């Protein structure tokens, strides 16, 4: 599959998710009101992706509107208000970030509406669980995964990086 086809699919997917998130948010505001509280269980970071990428501490559905607005900027090749804008790969990574942000809003709405997590699904991974997993990653009880993008400066550097990751029980791709 060519890069152009992947970019086209990513573009269509980002638009579909951003549209779905916008529509779901407006429906949720109609049902619950703009001041309805959104939150994931047992986290101190509100909606963690929005907090990390955009520095938005979304506490209400009204705050989620800001996230959707910023996601739409990223999806249309514009910088977010905090300056986030990745120029590499023709800006297609911004569409991926926009999609993640919109998916986070959709998940928050699902928690508010009590339709998530679904039967057999863990749902949101709490801070406590992530810290426990982090300790297990560090001490080697579970393997981590590293996806390496782009070429190494030379073959020796690539071999050294792969061996270093393997020595830490990290699967390298």
Per-domain residue ranges of the chain: 3-121, 130-172
Return the CATH fold of 3-121: Helicase, Ruva Protein; domain 3 (1.10.8)
Residues 45 and 125 sit within 8 Å (Cβ to Cβ): no
Q: How far apart are CA 73 and CA 164, in angstroms?
A: 39
Report the DSSP beta bridge partners of residue 146: 172
Residues in the chain, how many?
A: 173
Give the integer Cα–Cα distance in Å for 149 and 16. Answer: 26
Print the SS3 string covering 99-125: HHHHHHHHHHHHHHCCCCCCCCCCCCC
- Distance, CA of 80 to CA of 105 (rounded, Å): 17
| Residue 167: predicted pLDDT | 80
User: How many CB atoms neighbour CB 111 within 10 A?
Assistant: 16
Predicted structure pTM score: 0.76
Name the β-bridge partners of 170. 144
- Region for 150 from its dihedrals, namely left if φ exceeds 0, alpha if ψ lies in -120 to 50, beta otherwise: left
Two tokens, residue 80:
């977010």
Quote the CA–CA distance of 64 and 102 in Å, as a whole number: 9
Q: Give the model confidence (pLDDT) of 31-81 as tens digits.
A: 999 999 998 888 877 898 999 999 999 999 999 999 999 999 999 999 999
Residue with the larger pLDDT of the pair 20 and 167 = 20
- pLDDT band at residue 1, thresholds of 50, 70 and 90? low
Taking Cα atoms as reference points, which of 76, 63, 78, 67 lies closest to residue 29?
63
């Amino acid at each position: 599959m060519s890069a152009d086809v992947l970019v086209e699919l990513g573009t269509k997917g980002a638009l579909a998710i951003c549209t779905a998130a916008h529509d779901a948010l407006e429906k949720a505001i109609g049902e619950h009101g703009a001041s309805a509280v959104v939150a994931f269980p047992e986290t101190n970071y509100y909606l963690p992706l929005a907090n990390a990428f955009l520095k938005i501490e979304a506490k209400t559905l009204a705050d989620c509107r800001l996230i959707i607005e910023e996601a739409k900027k990223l999806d249309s090749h514009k910088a977010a208000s905090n300056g986030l804008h990745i120029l590499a790969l023709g800006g297609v990574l911004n569409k991926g970030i926009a999609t993640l942000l919109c998916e986070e809003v959709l998940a928050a709405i699902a928690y508010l509406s009590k339709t998530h997590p679904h039967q057999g699904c863990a749902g949101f991974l709490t801070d406590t669980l992530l810290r426990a997993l982090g300790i297990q990653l560090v001490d080697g009880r579970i393997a981590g995964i590293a996806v390496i993008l782009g070429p190494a400066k030379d073959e020796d550097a690539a071999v050294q990086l792969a061996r270093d990751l393997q020595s830490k029980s990290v699967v390298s791709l």
